[in-house]
A and B are shown apart, each in its own frame.
Chain A
Amino acid sequence: MNREQISLRNENYGKKIRAIFDNPLVMNLMPLIGFLIVLVVFTILTKGKIIQPTNINLILGQVYVLMIAATGVFMIMTVGGIDFSQGSILGFSSIIISWVSHYNIVLAVICGILGGAVMGAVNGFFHVRFRIASFIVTICTMYLFRGLCEYITTTGPVAASVGVVVLNKTWLKMLLTLIVLAIGFFTFTFTRIGFDLKAIGASENAARFSGSRPAFSKFMVFVTAGALTGFASFLNVMRVGSITGTAGTQMETQILIALVLGGMPINGGSKARFTNIIIGVLTYSVLQTSLPMVFTQSATQQLVQGIIFLIVVALTMDRKNIRVIK
């Protein structure tokens, strides 16, 4: 074969491979395939340790808080926004819950949710009212809320009442997470809210001319995300028992990475699927738990983690709708 034929053949292979990736079924399944590959690879690398019951429990232990908080951020990303303040919101709501839990646990949960909602409302208000890009607003409030956490905990960590800590049961946490996911899934798939959010993410202007209310919806999405993280804080307090000023640090990046691993389109819009949350959080948690088993040094862990994220995202992300890379 001469060079031209080879290049033609290679081009044809390229086309065929692209055609496979462009198939909508394959595209929807990519994140799931990614999850399975990660699972299989790490089962082999850890010589099966990762699928032993104790480790599965360890993985699930991380999943609950992340899954609930990611549900809120999923909605924010569907309308095309992003939120970096979720970790700080988790920290502050956790402090509120710990405080109030000494009086009444139900009241503590309600206060935690309300606190999260108020912080989300601050995000939404500045984003919608002053038309500031959501990533700017939430980077600012990330520091703002974190500052509040540190300020309150200067004299020492805030301990929750024992009543909360004894609730730290796997079945309860799993039940609460499933309830949140079920409500989220139902709202997103079977009410007009999901349709509106997707339309707004795809084209805010066109959505407005179709009877959606972009400004109101965007504000409400931030409030809801805050409230959900407020609720996730309750599960966080159960597990930790006592809250320091750094509680929830880095959670915002964990959520975003998990969603992207799950196939969430960065710019939001019609291609957002509720399953992005579940698959993404599971993939992330498997990676998080198994890396220390394979690589003992934490520096190596971070390095490998970064490389794996890049590879998975590069392979699974749907770029069709992204014209401008920001």
Chain B
Amino acid sequence: MTKTILVSDKVNKFFGNTHAVNDVSISFNSGEIHGLIGENGSGKSTFSSMLCGIHPISSGKFLLEKKEINADSIVEANRLGISMIVQEMGTLPGLTVAENIFLGDEDQFTNFGIKNTGAMNRKAQSYLVEYGFEHINASRMVDLYSFEDRKLVEIVKATYFKPKIVVVDETTTALSQAGRESLYHHMNRIKAEGGTIIFISHDLSEVLEHTDRVSVLRDGEYIGTVNSDETTEDDLKNLMVGRELGEHYYRTDFGESYSSEVVLSVKDISVPGFVKNVSFDLHKGEILGIGGLSSCGMREVGKAIFGAAYDRTGTVTLTDGTTIDNVLSAIKNSIGYASKDRDNESIVLESSIRDNITLPSLDLLAKNGIQSAKKLNRFAKKNAELMKVRMSGISQYVSQLSGGNKQKVVLARWLGRGSNILVLDSPTRGIDVGVKADIYALMGELKEQGKSIIMISEEMQELLGMSDRIIIMKDGEINGEFLRSPELGEEDLIQKMI
């Protein structure tokens, strides 16, 4: 007999103009592992952050055992019986393992205002042993342990007090196989004790294998909940992406479709600590995908091509022998760059759409060094409209636009400049599906026009769907190269990534 323990009732979250979570109502049972999936930006992490008191709820409520809860901090959520193992670093450096485990709950070891460190360490060590992590010493600094061990510490921290709900947010990507097994083991233990796990992961096979039910979010909306043992990965994918997009979302052509003319040649570039001896050629009309795990050095390759990495060695050369060594020479020679860190590196947030679009092209727009406001306005307006930027006017500040429209402004400035080589780092990161489709369509058009694109992406579907050629990087080096083919699948890429 299943019992509902947690219900979300029409929960909403707005970030400025972005409706990140839209009327989501899901019910979770006690004693189940409940998967929560969706594409990047679908609102899974935002949803769970609201549950755990990291973000305030815009509207709607969470009911835990029929009582409305409204945690305003993680500590408060813990007290209510909800804990979370987060995607990024969840331990605080500079503290011992024990101090990390009992963070926010030190009072149990405090007598008359004095902390009993010995008792705290002993208690922490006994938990570590109980969990099977004997190799971790509770009294040592958490900094001394590897990323993986720190994740294990987090597992203890999040679950030792027997919470009713544990959110596991993309924790497995950081863990080795042994670490994963141990995590699954503890998830099942909590389940057996009647607790509930909300399991967030991108790895669909993992989700199906370890969960009882799976709920799907898309663009902040709740799509549905399915039983894991009656569902296939393809079913989940369709629910995540939405059937109507399946056909014309990505490119559908296969086979050689770019010229053999090399427009950009990257030779032996290295960036200390990130990239080791990477070489490749980019052809006219080619979309070259570069993929890998997020720390594989692919972002630094993008920056190095754009001349934005100061300590790069090796050469980046155009057809005519021009070398690219700094941002200015890159822009002058028709290279455009869209950073993954859009708000800090791609656009000047607290500035108008006009200024953002014209900034890289000021040298072309000036007549004898003099800028004409009329000409700047016309240039900005033309390119913003060409990209269909949704705006109140070109004097609107970019900070007021949604992620997708910001990215359109970024593309508008480079297309306005007439850039022939575009380096796009995570071009659709945090962008809703509609604008995503626009950007893919634009990439296809640019390719037709003979422009070349380097697309750096963590999303494998995007790499497979858009690239003529895919380079996979691992630990700063090229570890594999694939040509566009209908037979190519995610597994082929993953094998080269890890």
Interface pair A211/B328, CB less than 8 Å apart:
yes
| Interface assignment of A199: CB less than 8 Å from any CB of chain B | yes
Q: Which of A30-38, A114-122, A146-154, A187-195 contacts its partner?
A: A187-195
Residues of B within 8 A of A211 (CB): 327-328, 331, 359-360, 363
A317 to chain B, nearest CB (A): 15
Interface pair B328/A203, CB less than 8 Å apart:
no
Q: Which of B10-18, B181-189, B349-357 contacts its partner?
A: B349-357
Contact A202 B344, CB 8 Å, known A191-B366, A195-B355: no
| Interface assignment of A208: CB less than 8 Å from any CB of chain B | yes
| Interface assignment of A269: CB less than 8 Å from any CB of chain B | yes
With beta carbons under 8 angstroms apart, the residue of B352, B358, B371 that contacts A270 is B352
| Interface assignment of B200: CB less than 8 Å from any CB of chain A | no
Interface pair A210/B413, CB less than 8 Å apart:
yes
Residues of A within 8 A of B328 (CB): 211, 213
With beta carbons under 8 angstroms apart, the residue of A191, A196, A206 that contacts B369 is A191
Residues of B within 8 A of A212 (CB): 359
Instruction: For the complex, give the distance between the alpha carbons of A176 and B462 in Å.
Output: 62
Interface pair A198/B344, CB less than 8 Å apart:
no
With beta carbons under 8 angstroms apart, the residue of B306, B327, B349, B362 that contacts A195 is B362
Kindly name the residue among A205, A207, A213 whose own CB sees the greatest number of chain B CB atoms within 10 A: A205
Residues of A within 8 A of B355 (CB): 195, 198-199, 270
Interface pair A210/B359, CB less than 8 Å apart:
yes
| Interface assignment of A321: CB less than 8 Å from any CB of chain B | yes
Contact A192 B371, CB 8 Å, known A211-B327, A211-B328, A211-B359: yes
With beta carbons under 8 angstroms apart, the residue of A190, A192, A203, A213 that contacts B348 is A203
In the complex, which residues 344-402 of chain B have their Cβ closer than 8 Å to any Cβ of chain A?
A: 344-352, 355-356, 358-360, 362-363, 366, 369-372, 397
With beta carbons under 8 angstroms apart, the residue of A195, A203, A209, A269 that contacts B358 is A195
| Interface assignment of B54: CB less than 8 Å from any CB of chain A | no
Residues of A within 8 A of B351 (CB): 198-199, 202-203, 269-270
Contact A207 B348, CB 8 Å, known A192-B363, A192-B371, A195-B362: yes
Interface pair A209/B327, CB less than 8 Å apart:
yes
Interface pair A203/B350, CB less than 8 Å apart:
yes
Interface pair A195/B371, CB less than 8 Å apart:
yes
B337 and chain A: residue at smallest CB distance: A209
Residues of B within 8 A of A269 (CB): 350-351
Residues of B within 8 A of A190 (CB): 370-372
Inter-chain residue pair count (beta carbon < 8 A): 77
A316 to chain B, nearest CB (A): 19
B170 to chain A, nearest CB (A): 27
Residues of A within 8 A of B339 (CB): 209
Instruction: For the complex, give the distance between the alpha carbons of A20 and B355 in Å.
Output: 25
| Interface assignment of B308: CB less than 8 Å from any CB of chain A | yes
Interface pair B346/A206, CB less than 8 Å apart:
yes
With beta carbons under 8 angstroms apart, the residue of B306, B345, B366 that contacts A206 is B345
Chain A interface main SS type: helix
Q: How extensive is the interface on chain A, given as a class? A: 20 to 34
Instruction: For the complex, give the distance between the alpha carbons of A206 and B342 in Å.
Output: 9
Residues of A within 8 A of B397 (CB): 270
In the complex, which residues 66-93 of chain A have their Cβ closer than 8 Å to any Cβ of chain B?
A: none
B349 and chain A: residue at smallest CB distance: A203
In the complex, which residues 325-346 of chain B have their Cβ closer than 8 Å to any Cβ of chain A?
A: 327-328, 331, 337, 339, 344-346
Interface pair B371/A206, CB less than 8 Å apart:
no
A24 and chain B: residue at smallest CB distance: B395
A206 and chain B: residue at smallest CB distance: B348
Interface pair B345/A209, CB less than 8 Å apart:
yes
Interface pair B371/A199, CB less than 8 Å apart:
no
Interface pair A207/B350, CB less than 8 Å apart:
no
With beta carbons under 8 angstroms apart, the residue of B348, B360, B362, B371 that contacts A202 is B348
Contact A191 B337, CB 8 Å, known A203-B344, A207-B348, A209-B346: no
Contact A207 B359, CB 8 Å, known A191-B366, A198-B351: yes
Interface pair A209/B371, CB less than 8 Å apart:
no
Residues of A within 8 A of B349 (CB): 202-203, 206
Instruction: For the complex, give the distance between the alpha carbons of A321 and B363 in Å.
Output: 28
Residues of A within 8 A of B347 (CB): 203, 206
B131 to chain A, nearest CB (A): 41
Residues of B within 8 A of A209 (CB): 306, 308, 327, 337, 339, 345-346
A184 to chain B, nearest CB (A): 15
A191 and chain B: residue at smallest CB distance: B369
Instruction: For the complex, give the distance between the alpha carbons of A213 and B351 in Å.
Output: 17
Interface pair B344/A205, CB less than 8 Å apart:
yes
A212 and chain B: residue at smallest CB distance: B359
Instruction: For the complex, give the distance between the alpha carbons of A321 and B348 in Å.
Output: 13
Residues of B within 8 A of A208 (CB): 308, 327
B353 to chain A, nearest CB (A): 11
Instruction: For the complex, give the distance between the alpha carbons of A198 and B359 in Å.
Output: 10
B123 to chain A, nearest CB (A): 39
A206 to chain B, nearest CB (A): 5
A131 to chain B, nearest CB (A): 14
Residues of B within 8 A of A198 (CB): 351, 355
Residues of B within 8 A of A321 (CB): 350
Instruction: For the complex, give the distance between the alpha carbons of A92 and B397 in Å.
Output: 43
Instruction: For the complex, give the distance between the alpha carbons of A80 and B356 in Å.
Output: 18
With beta carbons under 8 angstroms apart, the residue of B306, B308, B348 that contacts A199 is B348
In the complex, which residues 261-314 of chain A have their Cβ closer than 8 Å to any Cβ of chain B?
A: 269-270
Q: Mark B148-163, 1 if CB is under 8 A from A, else 0.
A: 0000000000000000
Q: Mark A1-31, 1 if CB is under 8 A from B, else 0.
A: 0000000000000000000000000000000
Instruction: For the complex, give the distance between the alpha carbons of A59 and B362 in Å.
Output: 40
Instruction: For the complex, give the distance between the alpha carbons of A61 and B337 in Å.
Output: 52
Residues of B within 8 A of A210 (CB): 331, 348, 356, 359-360, 413
Instruction: For the complex, give the distance between the alpha carbons of A199 and B359 in Å.
Output: 8
B462 to chain A, nearest CB (A): 22
Residues of A within 8 A of B413 (CB): 210
Q: Mark B219-240, 1 if CB is under 8 A from A, else 0.
A: 0000000000000000000000
Given contacts A206-B346, A207-B348, A211-B327, 11 further A-B contacts (CB under 8 A): A191-B371, A192-B363, A192-B371, A195-B358, A206-B344, A207-B359, A209-B327, A209-B337, A210-B348, A212-B359, A270-B350
Binding site for B on A (CB under 8 A): 190-192, 195-196, 198-199, 202-203, 205-213, 269-270, 321
Q: What are 17 A-B interface contacts by the 8 Å CB criterion? A: A190-B372, A191-B371, A192-B362, A195-B355, A196-B359, A202-B348, A203-B344, A203-B347, A203-B349, A203-B351, A206-B344, A209-B308, A209-B339, A209-B345, A210-B348, A210-B359, A211-B363
Which 3 pairs of residues, A with B, have the shortest CB-CB distance?
A: A192-B362, A270-B351, A210-B359
